[in-house]
Structure 1
């Protein structure tokens, strides 16, 4: 298995050259005081060391050992405690946290690159601190000052971890039917009772305390999603002086035995009158939770990207070293019995697919992260409003498409290895197993597609889409290499959307039936724009006499490959989306 090497050159290219984030940071007072390009580069360098030297070496051993559960206690694999301690001591748990409570206050664009690195190194390990970061985001946005002061400093320091407790045995995506209840104790706290499942990091031995964010219903709550409240429920109660008190009335009933991410404890959590504290307003729990959802779903998309980047690095190294067969043009290594795999067109096809999807995904996720930063830090209300609309539109795309592409690329990397890709020692089979969950949790990719077409586009009358397509059109110049193809694909996507919305007026099943194909079609066009931007930026830097000419030329060649070999996938996705629902609903249940 290849040693993980963080793609810092590409990260810097996307951040500074394509999207000019350093210049933007200098315009925002709260960010300008915290970070500049020099500081960001130093953070990226240290993050790369942490990922490659501390986290990556634990990936295979952690998978093989897994977590163990004994009488409510979870033990993580050997080496995890030490690695987590280094992670916490480096301040990484509070990278994007509020500086008022001890966070570093870094913009999401920078945190997104860090997220990719640690996900490439070990997805299972990274889930522990990432859930704490997500919980901290919701607490910072919606909790009282007292709760923020009591919990955020310890969470940002990594001394305490966090979770999100949403799913119940009978309620997955449909949170409106949850049964966990909350009863007022009369002293500002609530008694939380119920069972939550699939809770990542619900119990472990890495931190002194675990802070659970739990969705529950008050006795007089309205039915459905509008009756859900959010509560902060600590594993150990916290005394007034900040010290840990007695155990709360909650326990881990078991851990799941899973296909992948075996070193990440996926827990059944039982709350038996546990003391909790209301976060935000009563019956507004989903609003509070959705504050962090855009960040979390971007992070899950990046999990797919990180896994596929590791798969690409493995496959590329193997293809360059492994000798099999001869080049179609004649022997390349005439003094050897065979040529490297790299001489074969199909091997190059798989590698270039991976490279185009990975680099496109890195730039696309960085663009979405930039919009999150604009919405948070900009002082221009119009700019903030536009960025928020783009985040709403693109979050389901980045979550679903990057994770679908992640599995595709992990499988392709395994295929490059042939039979060795099926063998544990090379690491490829673990990547396939681990990345699979990213398409499922934080809202399955089908739910993301339904959110995109049904909520973000149909309910807005296409307004969100128009904002994005206008941005693409305004960025294209007639002399751009891909101008005609890109603008044509934008027109096609706009027409596809119009036709689907028209169909849906007469057939209520259209949105649900077409949404996944529509999301894919949307993503291929979005990536086309992203690749056009990167190619144009590479051309500009070449014209300026950059010393990195070979790397920049490779960027342009990969852009051409994307437009010739991957963007055409749009046509089949669009045709499927428009095919109607007759066949889908003609079969009776017993005919399936």
Structure 2
């Protein structure tokens, strides 16, 4: 398996020479601090983390996968330590507001961080990646109390986040959502139902997991116009930021997958779990689009990351593999054959 090397030279060229990001950042409200020297230093430190800590876990994590033990998901060996290093560096809140624990830098810089992490180890990157969507949703639609309670620990990386849409009977057609939300006397809601294909639904990397859940109120209109959005934490928040009691949400099973096995994809059961409404009643799908749009950006980054890793692997193989002699003449006379890099069509493709 190829050793990942962050493409810093290409990245710097694109930022500085092609797209003129220094000028772009100067014109942003939150871009004043993103000087060329700072951006270069951030990219260098991110590359170091990805190359030395995160990338080495890709192959072993895929072989080991995640395991469900007594309702708790165990991530592969080394994942907890790698995530702790990620959190210690302040990477989760790189592009989120300072008032909620972030560094307030431009979103494009955060996207570059995601690209490096995703290329180094996509399954690992999905854990903090899902949290970013939850953070963006709370930023756009949460109350100030919800932001202080949930957004701050999410931004710090102490808590994780998920997006809970799909159910056994519906995926794309969310008008068929059956998960119920019934009002409690204290203003919260009791959430009951099952969600499937939930990335990062349960794991041991963070002390709490904040589920962003689509559910239906008893008097809701039919179809997508009757869906509301709720915060359902694994542990209810306690006093002073401490964790309270375990909520009524659990992982019923891990999905069996062809790849990204180190990323926990879960069946999640909500058994009267306490939830808190985000945004107006019956406007949940509109609010959830904030999360979905974050996920779409993440999917685009996944495409770039996959292509970059495939390219690096192909390049390494072409340099090592020897086959016949180059049509233009022998290039490595001291070897039994020339490497693939000396064959014209291989060079063209790479």
Higher strand share: 2
Aligned to 1:512: none
8 Å contact 1:67–1:74 — kept in the other structure? yes
* SS of the residue 1:29 aligns to: coil
Write the distance in 1 (CA, Å) between the matches of 2:332 and 2:36. 45
* SS of the residue 1:31 aligns to: coil
8 Å contact 2:232–2:276 — kept in the other structure? yes
Write the distance in 1 (CA, Å) between the matches of 2:68 and 2:258. 17
Q: Aligned runs of 1:185-200 on 2, under 5 Å?
A: 185-200=184-199
Paired residues, number: 350
* SS of the residue 2:266 aligns to: strand
Aligned to 1:238: 237
8 Å contact 2:163–2:291 — kept in the other structure? no
* SS of the residue 1:289 aligns to: helix
Q: Aligned runs of 1:503-514 on 2, under 5 Å?
A: none
Write the distance in 1 (CA, Å) between the matches of 2:22 and 2:126. 29
Does residue 221 (structure 1) correspond to residue 220 (structure 2)? The answer is yes
**How far has the Cα of 1:116 moved from its partner?**
0.9
TM-score of the two chains, using structure 1 as the length reference? 0.58
**How far has the Cα of 1:180 moved from its partner?**
0.6
Aligned to 1:332: 331
* SS of the residue 2:197 aligns to: strand
Q: Aligned runs of 1:67-86 on 2, under 5 Å?
A: 67-86=66-85
Does residue 2 (structure 1) correspond to residue 2 (structure 2)? The answer is yes
Write the distance in 2 (CA, Å) between the matches of 1:336 and 1:41. 41
Does residue 26 (structure 1) correspond to residue 26 (structure 2)? The answer is yes
Larger Cα-atom Rg: 1
Deviation by residue 1:178-233 (Cα, 9 ceiling, x = unmatched): 11111111312111110000011100111110000001111111111121111000
Aligned to 1:51: 50
Aligned to 2:344: 345
Aligned to 1:160: 159
Aligned to 1:62: 61
Aligned to 1:543: none
Q: Structure 1 stretch 341-350 or stretch 100-109: which is displaced more?
A: 341-350
**How far has the Cα of 1:329 moved from its partner?**
2.3
**How far has the Cα of 1:21 moved from its partner?**
2.0
Higher helix share: 1
Write the distance in 1 (CA, Å) between the matches of 2:7 and 2:158. 30
Deviation by residue 1:550-588 (Cα, 9 ceiling, x = unmatched): xxxxxxxxxxxxxxxxxxxxxxxxxxxxxxxxxxxxxxx
Does residue 288 (structure 1) correspond to residue 287 (structure 2)? The answer is yes
- Cα-Cα RMSD: 1.3
**How far has the Cα of 1:346 moved from its partner?**
3.4
8 Å contact 1:98–1:140 — kept in the other structure? no
Q: Aligned runs of 1:28-427 on 2, under 5 Å?
A: 28-32=28-32, 34-351=33-350
Write the distance in 2 (CA, Å) between the matches of 1:60 and 1:123. 11
**How far has the Cα of 1:170 moved from its partner?**
1.0
8 Å contact 1:192–1:216 — kept in the other structure? yes
TM-score of the two chains, using structure 2 as the length reference? 0.97
8 Å contact 1:15–1:109 — kept in the other structure? no
Q: Aligned runs of 1:438-517 on 2, under 5 Å?
A: none
**Structure 1 runs of 4+ with >4 Å offset:** none
**Structure 2 residues without counterparts, runs of 5 or longer:** none
Write the distance in 1 (CA, Å) between the matches of 2:334 and 2:307. 34
